[in-house]
Structure 1
């Protein structure tokens, strides 16, 4: 089986370079390549507006679970082991099966996850323990905050499979292990694994072009001439 975390560029370099971009530029490149449906739902936002995330997805599927079955919940130990075995920095991506009752992420998840290589969490659901997450400066993107505990309401089911998160232009966006996540204050974009390097390079090129246009405007050049030279701005 192909390692989903092997790219033509080292993972840490990809993370650093994607973090230097922004979600709007990444989306524009994907849109131009014929992938317009890669933006997640508009209510999936950073808990702290300053947070920016970039990295490969480690996917997890959770399900409503009203019994509090400890055997089911204890499976998460194996999930954390699988996270560590990737050997790269990862983003914990959680498909919460459209549950809206509970917090699906919190400070303890962040603490254990960080020890296993997790650098951020992307949760299509709820988060809690916000004070501790802020103190740790551990980035979490989620749909809502709530104090409600997940025990007897929701539990871990499986991981490292293709999951579905709510989309901005479609009902859902599929995320597979190794897909690249890029998120900031504007929202989150999912870059398919096979396009990670191409999208990054085109995004950097787009930003360089934008910087040149800004410089020309700042120099006081005629806006009509700038537009004619560069076309779509």
Structure 2
């Protein structure tokens, strides 16, 4: 697992995104409105999928159906990236310094949320990158609850799209954005991506004096080894 995540990090989101597109996975990039709090440090790991929503005081649920936000670290897994979908909640930060420190101590390598966070300066200094939709001073714990921590989730993609994320899918993030690689095809995607990387390295050796038509043809042919991986069932 560690070897695979390191290989994905070495390639980067842009190149792996090209492979996913050619392989039939066209909606794997999270919306660019989600950005790093602090330096854009590359991360990669299997996804922990968590979903929550605004906590309504009059709502009745069994005690084991939800979790308070403060329990987020109980869902941590070493080496994983926590993917936290918030159902559009904007009433407060769903993570701050204390929760992030707990997650880091438990081995989580990164947190990605489509919600807001707080304690920007402190989060910027913690050795666990955080990607979010923005910051807010209000504490979300008083207004929010965790409703699911075992199944798949969705997060916003570009131009109003939706990205589906299942537990164990690989999450790759760097200065270009956040990408989700389905676990079912990760082994093949990494092989295709590494071959593409070699071809792109060779392209850089083509003399600039070569006619533009030749260079364009070589760029197009770098994808010749790609194969379609998305099955009919997966494309429904």
Give the alignment's TM-score, normalised by structure 1.
0.83
- Name the structure 2 match of 1:227: 216
Alignment of 1:60-99 (within 5 A): 60-67=50-57, 73-74=67-68, 77=71, 80-84=73-77, 88-99=78-89
Gaps of 5+ in 2: 223-236
Partners of 1:230 and 1:151 lie apart in 2 by: 50
Query: Is 2:73–2:99's contact at 8 Å kept on the other side of the alignment?
Result: no
How far off its partner does 1:133 sit?
1.6
Partners of 1:51 and 1:68 lie apart in 2 by: 41
Match 1:192 to one of 179, 182, 189: 182
Match 2:163 to one of 173, 186, 193: 173
Give the alignment's TM-score, normalised by structure 2.
0.82
How far off its partner does 1:216 sit?
2.2
Which stretch has the larger CA shift, 30-39 or 59-68?
59-68
Alpha carbons of 1:123 and 1:75: their partners in 2 closer, same or farther (altered >3 Å)? closer
Query: Is 1:37–1:169's contact at 8 Å kept on the other side of the alignment?
Result: no
Query: 1:5-58 CA distances to partner (integer Å, 9 max, x unpaired)?
Result: xxxxxx111121111112111111111011101111120111234322211100
Which runs of structure 1 show a deviation greater than 6 angstroms over 4 or more consecutive aligned residues?
none
Query: 1:91-129 CA distances to partner (integer Å, 9 max, x unpaired)?
Result: 011010111221112222211112222110010111111
Alpha carbons of 1:152 and 1:52: their partners in 2 closer, same or farther (altered >3 Å)? same
Alpha carbons of 1:66 and 1:151: their partners in 2 closer, same or farther (altered >3 Å)? farther
How far off its partner does 1:161 sit?
1.0
Partners of 1:133 and 1:92 lie apart in 2 by: 15
- Name the structure 1 match of 2:104: 114
Partners of 2:115 and 2:212 lie apart in 1 by: 45
How far off its partner does 1:75 sit?
7.5
Gaps of 5+ in 1: 1-10
How far off its partner does 1:68 sit?
11
Partners of 1:230 and 1:125 lie apart in 2 by: 38
- Name the structure 1 match of 2:8: 18
Partners of 1:52 and 1:183 lie apart in 2 by: 5
